[in-house]
Structure 1
Amino acid sequence: MMKKILQLTADGSHTLFIPSMDEHYHSVNGAIQEAMHVFIEAGLHSIQKEFVRILEIGFGTGLNAFLTLRDVEENSRLKVEYHSIELYPLNMELISSLNYGKIIWPDRKDLFEKLHFAKWNMPEKISDNFTLCKIEGDSNVCDLPVDIDLIYFDAFAPDKQPEMWTQAIFDRLYSYTAPGGIIVTYCAKGEVRRMMQKAGYAMSRLPGPPGKRHMLYGKKI
């Protein structure tokens, strides 16, 4: 079990630091700011459908899922089926120390806990508009949902977790993406953009979150 240390980021929200990897779960320039910019604003808000099937690579702290749930509940504009894959789930003691519920949605911080208490490998209705299916497994080989409208690609950085940034995985994700489906990631490396493009996505570089110049946005035409 890798040691994880709770740390504050620049916007006052928590992240986790793994000393053995010298890697953080989120940007030290602001965990919530990064997640909102990359996954909600560039990703979720670009979808023009009433029903959205999301696949997240890396459930981690549950931050992206919680921000998505809040957006769905506060705007009531769509229904979401949210699939999230995680090979190394966090323990509840560590999860309970995160301040996301208090900062992001203090009136409904119980929903943050509900996301984490949801059983693995089976769908669970979190609200009328949001169904969660947490998948414990390896994104390279585990079963994936079909007709994915939106992919949150939130694996650790390519130099820390290279097995998650390969041509094979982007080819695989593309084959499960619905026509018009979107993939977004905080990473803007040229090599990653070229692999996504080779898989079939039409790629764009967008302005990045605080501390990053760019992020990547791909679409299945």
Structure 2
Amino acid sequence: MKVEVKQTNDGSHTLYVPALNEHYHSVHGALQEALHVFIKHGLEPVLANATTPINLLEIGFGTGLNAILTLQAFLTQKHSVLYDTLEKYPLPEEVIAQLQFENFILNPELLAYFRKLHAAPWNTEAAIRPNFTLQKLHADLENFALPANTYDLVYFDAFAPEKQPELWTDEIFAKIGQALKPGGVLVSYCAKGSFKRSLKAAGLTVEALPGPPGKREMTRARK
């Protein structure tokens, strides 16, 4: 799948897919969106109540932005995380090299970890640091069997429903719902009514939260 590197309004990079006419992140700011949706309203509340190692599932590894921001949080955390991430279209090395995350990852240690995330092998666990274990899965969510009652947190970061409708069905969210632990949380940038109805049909409690710059709302759901 052909992609092009684009700069967003906060200076951070995203990718554009001409075939879908879709960006990986908000053009208003890739970094701002990821911090607001996945870290502030997803990871931080889960960490505040965590008593065991956190099991995290990400749908859409993409540029690795959510993963490196999550790792950043664990630099000062006593907890550990098992970070599973599903990606149907892994990026080629020449695209990764163009991302220039140096522009907003000013911590040299964090930049080294970012490179390590991308260098990690697919379909096997890799210890990126003592409290951060990554498993990049080259897989299609539609056909991938998720383990039951496993995840404390899900980052749902697939392409928009109108671009990838097969990933926004009742069946998909029923699958994710059974994979969440009781009390587990799902967060997404999406706020469409059909998405919220699918989450509710999966037995999750849904709340609308203020969105990142450029979006009025985002969604958080809890099992």
**TM-score (normalised: structure 1):** 0.96
In structure 1, runs of 5+ residues without a counterpart are none
> Hey, what does 2:122 align to over in structure 1?
120
Q: What is the alpha-carbon distance in structure 2 between the residues aligned to residue 162 and residue 143 of structure 1?
A: 19
SS of corresponding position for 1:126: strand
> Hey, what does 2:105 align to over in structure 1?
104
> Hey, what does 1:86 align to over in structure 2?
87
SS of corresponding position for 2:104: helix
Task: Give 1:100 shift.
Answer: 2.4
Q: Retained in 2: the 8 A contact 1:61–1:95?
A: yes
Task: Give 1:17 shift.
Answer: 0.7
In structure 2, runs of 5+ residues without a counterpart are none
Q: What is the alpha-carbon distance in structure 2 between the residues aligned to residue 77 and residue 29 of structure 1?
A: 33
> Hey, what does 2:11 align to over in structure 1?
12
Q: 2:134 aligns with which of 132, 135, 141?
A: 132
| 1:28–1:69 Cα change, 3 Å | same
> Hey, what does 2:66 align to over in structure 1?
64
Letter in 1 for 2:188: T
- Between 28-37 and 101-110, the greater mean CA deviation after superposition: 101-110
- Between 30-39 and 145-154, the greater mean CA deviation after superposition: 145-154
Matched, 1:170 2:170: no
Task: Give 1:102 shift.
Answer: 4.2
Q: What is the alpha-carbon distance in structure 2 between the residues aligned to residue 177 and residue 81 of structure 1?
A: 14
Q: 2:191 aligns with which of 188, 194, 198?
A: 188
CA RMSD of aligned residues (A): 1.1
Structure 1 moving runs of 4+ over 3 Å: none
Task: Give 1:140 shift.
Answer: 1.6
Letter in 1 for 2:44: H
The equivalences for 1:29-44 within 5 A come to 29-44=28-43
Corresponding pairs, count: 218
Task: Give 1:143 shift.
Answer: 3.3
1:119-145 CA-to-partner distances (Å, cap 9, x unmatched) read 111100000110000000111221324
Letter in 2 for 1:16: L
**TM-score (normalised: structure 2):** 0.95
- Between 96-105 and 196-205, the greater mean CA deviation after superposition: 96-105
